[in-house]
Amino acid sequence: MKKNGVLDRMYKWLLPGMKIKRWIFLSWVGLTLFSLGSILFMDIKIPLTMEQGIVDLLHSLLKHRIPSEYVDLFLIFLGLFLLLIGIRQWFVSIYEAVEPYQKKSLVDLVYEKRQLEHGIKIVAIGGGTGLSSLLRGLKKYTSNITAVVTVADDGGSSGRLRKDMGVIPPGDIRNCLAALSDEENLMTELFQYRFSEGDLGGHSFGNLFLVAMSQVSGDFQTAIKQSGKVLAIRGRVLPASLCPVNLCGEMEDKSIVEGESVITKDYRKINRIFLDPIDCKPPEEVKQAISEANLIILGPGSLYTSVIPNLLVEGMVDAINSSHGVVAYVCNVMTQPGETDNYSASDHIKAIRKHTPELTINYCLVNDRVPSWDQLEKYKSEGAEPVRADSEEIRKIGTEPVVADLISSEILVRHDSDKLAQQIVKLIYHPPH
């Protein structure tokens, strides 16, 4: 049966309409000419009548323009040319049938895939739009990326699905999957599509897809992996924990606020945050990825609701400290009203150290480009301002500052994906002294 199956597949290549036979034939002709030329060149003994026949045939076709002593070289080069053309067009025909909408050339795709497979191993820990922006830049340098995403979101579509279906909030995971995929892919656009009307109003297709996939596959982690395959992502996305987690905040007046969405809307100063339950653990894949990483990145993202919550998962800090990888914190470019008012870059690190005093942070990436006047005025009206790059204070707490222009030229003051990725890659290949 197996032999018949192989023969059936071989026979299909020869069926009409496959656009393969012509290139197989051309390759065969090229190989034949190359072989004959090689035989003549190496003076391998063949019947003299055959050798003379080949020479006479070429002379008659080319009207005696090729001297007999160069017939062997002519056959070798002609055969090689036809063979290469046939093989190339053979692969192009297959590629166009398999990827009819792909805009990149085959050689570019193969080059990217093979080069990126040998790229540095990076673990990016965070959540929100900051992490997604970082991943868009990093995927151009390596496909060995593991995004570890916070699972404490309880607002919007994610919060509704979490409450109704009892699943891990899919929103940040969806955004990371989309960020690691080919952004020209129609499936990626569909994954990010958000319904605006009816019972599905506010839900994104990707969130619903992840929940449905978790029901079909049996667990959410498998659903994420399968969704990654659908989107052809570079790297992988993992939840910081598979446990249902609530984020709680102790405010400056010692009162307790529960829920990420509630904390972000409470404008009182945050004293500390903690998880409920406190003993939730990361998946083994997360710990394995951290142990193998060359670089571990914290942020960018909301300090108290995206970055620190991941570090509070039991065993996360131990895994980071046990790794041989470099640890870098990407500081936000703007303060967040009610959360990090008047915070400098060193204040962000001090807040992380307050919650995880045993964590070692080697580098802190800080933006030093001043936003435009129009941008500053817009954010000033919302109570936000640029985060100060206080390098000396950062050094005093044992972290090396990396100060550079990291923001985009868009209306919103955010990290530029490419600028940020370039600075991060430099930490591995050209670390600051």
Domain boundaries, the chain: 2-98, 114-151+240-429
Residue given tokens 């065969």 in the structure block:
28
Q: Show the tokens assigned to 76.
A: 């070798």
Beta strands 145-149 and 270-276: pairing type?
unpaired
**Cβ–Cβ under 8 Å, residues 295 and 366:** no
CA distances from 178 to 26, 99, 157, 174, 190 (A): 42, 19, 17, 6, 10
**Cβ–Cβ under 8 Å, residues 125 and 297:** yes
| pLDDT given at position 88 | 83
Which residues make beta-bridge pairs with 195? none
| pLDDT given at position 232 | 85
| pLDDT given at position 1 | 45
Q: Show the tokens assigned to 163.
A: 């409450």
Mean pLDDT by 10 residues, the chain (433 residues): 58 64 84 80 65 61 61 82 86 66 57 69 94 94 94 88 88 93 75 88 92 90 91 93 92 93 88 94 96 96 95 97 96 92 96 96 95 86 92 96 91 90 92 79
CA atoms of 426 and 422, how far apart (whole Å):
6
Q: Which of 189, 190, 385, 150 is nearest to 273 (CA)?
A: 150
Maximum pairwise Cα distance, the chain: 105
CA atoms of 340 and 325, how far apart (whole Å):
28
Dump pLDDT digits (tens) for 23-77.
Answer: 888 888 888 888 877 877 777 665 656 556 666 666 565 555 666 667 678 878 8
pTM score above 0.75: yes
| pLDDT given at position 273 | 96
Q: Show the tokens assigned to 87.
A: 């093989």
CATH class of 114-151+240-429: alpha beta
Q: Show the tokens assigned to 225.
A: 């992996």
